């Protein structure tokens, strides 16, 4: 059974049939297709197209079909061209000719767009939850790197989770912050973890914002021109959980903006995850040695016995490229299509499903791998050298009234003098400082405490301990 064929004298060529069929992809929308049909049956019943008996029979039949999908008992037939055909074919097996009335006034064009939107509305909260789990892992790590109050009596004596709590009771964990991948200024490790939190928060917000453009009902648009009978589309939308109905049938059957936008949101998120992954890859290398992955999230080499590879993070980085390809692919498909529905649009689902699967595969693994990562506070601390406080040295002069431009040049001279003398900046004697500028006094050496430097950056969003605590408070809605 196909949903067409009356005007054809020959059956479709087998290879053409295989090319045309979309069941392998669109069977993922089975439940949505059945739900859309149940709502459609109610709508056309209300419009006087179905008798009470026909409506009851169709509803009951569709309910059975839904149960068969839910339990995995549904059996597809080789002739099922797509999910819509499969559902209608099964319905007619269950209830007989009355099934043939279900498609009245409806086209697969408005049907598929409806199914797809319903599917996405379902997927978005699942992806958001996966993001929120990873965000929670980032916040936990940020907190673990801050000094915490002495443990509760009940917690005393319990081993701390691997590598966590290294911030301990006293000082926060500090690390070099980089620009151009060159050591720049000291920062709190917690500030670094949270920088990734905020990027992911924007992704979650974007998913939320996208929802209102997904939640527009195309059903009732027919093939392209609308439905030929009095249909209460508002009620139909409500029954399916859509916020509004589409306002132009030509646009409704061809609009795939929501799919492209979804792929952009997924791609942007994948880029964020890739940037995080790249830093973990770098920081777990022997050259940095800031982190060590737990064995459960590292892989070995078949040749080199010593290797411990961050494959999970490399794959996250790699999949961002694939993800961007999905977005680019759909945008290219959409470009230049004549209005309204074109079969090209069948290419919309595979990338959206693939993007969803990719994120749902990456996000939980990233979260678990980050929760079990070992932080090496000593390595981070030792990577901070006093030249990273050169800005603070300039700021010190500024506080004493030197214009910043001049202060910058004087601090630069100190960096050079230390370099030439092969000593650290804090090892230069006061006379050497005063030879550069008489403004330098004995208190200059305080400038080289990295935690001082960090805590001075106390503006909203800065790296100071107070500011990082404020970020966490804000995240937790306190
Ligand atoms: N499989 C099609 C798709 O995914 C369903 C709509 C087909 N419409 C049609 N007139 N052939 O887009």
> From the candidates 301, 332, 339, 437, which is the catalytic residue?
301
**Is residue 221 a part of any domain in this protein?**
no
| One domain for residues 157 and 297 | yes
Domain count across the chain: 3
Confidence band of 303 (pLDDT split at 50, 70, 90):
confident
Protein residue with least CA distance to atom 3, ligand 1: 346
**Is residue 204 a part of any domain in this protein?**
yes
Distance 108 CA to ligand 1 centre (A): 6
Write the CATH number for 20: 1.10.275.10
**Bigger pLDDT: 169 or 211?**
211
Distance 18 CA to ligand 1 centre (A): 14
3-state DSSP call for residue 75?
coil
| One domain for residues 314 and 180 | yes
**Is residue 283 a part of any domain in this protein?**
yes
| One domain for residues 373 and 394 | no
What is the CB < 6 Å shell around ligand 1?
22, 26, 82, 108-109, 112, 345-346
| One domain for residues 266 and 281 | yes
> From the candidates 9, 154, 180, 302, which is the catalytic residue?
180
215 pLDDT higher than 50: yes
**Is residue 233 a part of any domain in this protein?**
no
Tens of pLDDT along 241-294? 999 999 999 999 999 999 999 999 999 999 999 999 999 999 999 999 999 999
| One domain for residues 93 and 128 | no
Give the CA distances from residue 141 to residues 20, 272, 281, 386, in Å, rounded to whole numbers and listed in that order. 50, 18, 17, 26
Q: Is 408 a catalytic residue?
A: no
150 pLDDT higher than 90: no
| pLDDT for 305 | 84
Distance 307 CA to ligand 1 centre (A): 50
Distance 112 CA to ligand 1 centre (A): 7
Confidence band of 232 (pLDDT split at 50, 70, 90):
very high
Which of 352, 382, 412 represents a domain boundary (last residue)?
A: 382
Distance 109 CA to ligand 1 centre (A): 6
**Is residue 472 a part of any domain in this protein?**
no
**Probe ligand 1: pick from 80, 109, 330, 340, max atoms within 8 Å of CB?**
109
16 pLDDT higher than 50: yes
**Probe ligand 1: pick from 112, 222, 340, max atoms within 8 Å of CB?**
112
Range of the domain at 100: 5-104
**Is residue 357 a part of any domain in this protein?**
yes
The sign of the dihedral angle between the CA atoms of 385, 386, 389, 394 is: negative
Q: Cα(353)–Cα(120) distance, rounded to whole angstroms? A: 9
| One domain for residues 319 and 449 | no
| One domain for residues 306 and 326 | yes
| One domain for residues 95 and 50 | yes
158 pLDDT higher than 50: no
3-state DSSP call for residue 309?
strand
Q: Is 84 a catalytic residue?
A: no
Write the CATH number for 412: 1.10.40.30
| One domain for residues 162 and 267 | yes
Q: Cα(137)–Cα(164) distance, rounded to whole angstroms? A: 12
Query: Which of 164-178, 202-216, 323-337 has the weakest average pLDDT?
Result: 164-178
Protein residue with least CA distance to atom 4, ligand 1: 346
**Is residue 359 a part of any domain in this protein?**
yes
Which of 324, 348, 382 represents a domain boundary (last residue)?
A: 382
| One domain for residues 310 and 174 | yes
Tens of pLDDT along 96-131? 999 999 999 999 999 999 999 999 999 999 999 999
Write the CATH number for 303: 1.20.200.10
Element (H, E) at 62: helix 52-71
Protein residue with least CA distance to atom 2, ligand 1: 346
What is the pTM assigned to this prediction? 0.93
| One domain for residues 63 and 24 | yes
**Is residue 415 a part of any domain in this protein?**
yes
What's phi and psi for 186, nearest 5 deg? -70, 145
Tokens read off for 287? 């050259």
CB atoms within 10 A of CB 99: 21
**Percent of the chain surpassing pLDDT 70:** 95
| One domain for residues 271 and 123 | yes
Rg, C-alpha atoms of the chain: 31
């Amino acid at each position: 059974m196909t949903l067409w064929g009356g005007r054809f004298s020959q059956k479709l060529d087998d290879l053409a049939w295989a090319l045309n069929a979309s069941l392998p992809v669109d069977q993922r929308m089975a439940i949505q297709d059945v739900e859309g049909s149940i709502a459609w049956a109610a709508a056309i019943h209300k419009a006087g197209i179905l008798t009470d008996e026909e409506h009851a029979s169709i509803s009951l039949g569709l309910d059975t079909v839904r149960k068969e999908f839910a339990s995995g008992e549904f059996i597809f037939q080789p002739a099922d061209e797509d999910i819509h055909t499969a559902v209608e074919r099964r319905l007619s097996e269950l209830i007989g000719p009355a099934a043939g009335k279900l498609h009245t006034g409806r086209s697969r064009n408005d049907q598929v767009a409806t199914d797809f939107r319903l599917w996405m509305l379902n997927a978005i909260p699942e992806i958001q939850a996966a993001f929120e789990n990873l965000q929670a892992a980032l916040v936990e790590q940020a907190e673990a790197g801050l000094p915490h109050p002495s443990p509760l009596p009940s917690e005393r004596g319990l081993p701390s989770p691997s590598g966590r709590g290294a911030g301990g009771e006293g000082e926060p964990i500090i690390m070099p912050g980089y620009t151009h991948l060159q050591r720049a200024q000291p920062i709190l490790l917690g500030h670094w973890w949270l920088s990734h939190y905020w990027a992911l928060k924007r992704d979650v917000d974007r998913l939320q914002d996208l929802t209102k453009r997904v939640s527009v009902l195309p059903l009732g648009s027919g093939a392209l021109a609308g439905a030929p009978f009095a249909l209460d589309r508002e009620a139909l939308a409500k029954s399916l959980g859509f916020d509004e109905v589409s306002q132009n049938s030509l646009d409704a059957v061809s609009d795939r903006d929501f799919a492209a936008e979804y792929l952009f949101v997924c791609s942007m998120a994948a880029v964020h995850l890739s940037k995080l992954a790249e830093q973990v890859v770098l920081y777990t290398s022997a050259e940095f040695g800031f982190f060590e992955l737990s064995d459960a999230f590292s892989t070995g080499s078949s040749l080199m016995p010593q290797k411990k590879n961050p494959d999970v993070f490399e794959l996250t980085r790699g999949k961002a490229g694939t993800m961007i390809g999905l977005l680019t692919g759909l945008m290219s498909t959409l470009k230049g299509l004549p209005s309204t529905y074109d079969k090209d649009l069948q290419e919309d689902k595979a990338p959206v499903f693939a993007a969803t699967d990719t994120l749902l595969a990456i996000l939980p693994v990233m979260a678990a791998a980050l929760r079990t990562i070992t932080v090496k506070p000593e390595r981070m601390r030792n990577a901070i050298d006093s030249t990273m406080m050169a800005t603070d040295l300039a700021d010190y002069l500024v506080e004493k009234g030197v214009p910043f431009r001049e202060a910058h040049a004087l601090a630069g001279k100190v960096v050079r003098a230390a370099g030439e003398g092969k000593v650290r900046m804090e090892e230069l004697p006061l006379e050497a400082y005063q030879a550069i500028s008489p403004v330098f006094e004995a208190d200059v050496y305080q400038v080289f405490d990295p935690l001082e430097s960090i805590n001075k950056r106390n503006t909203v969003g800065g790296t100071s301990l107070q500011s990082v605590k404020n970020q966490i408070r804000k995240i937790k809605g306190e």
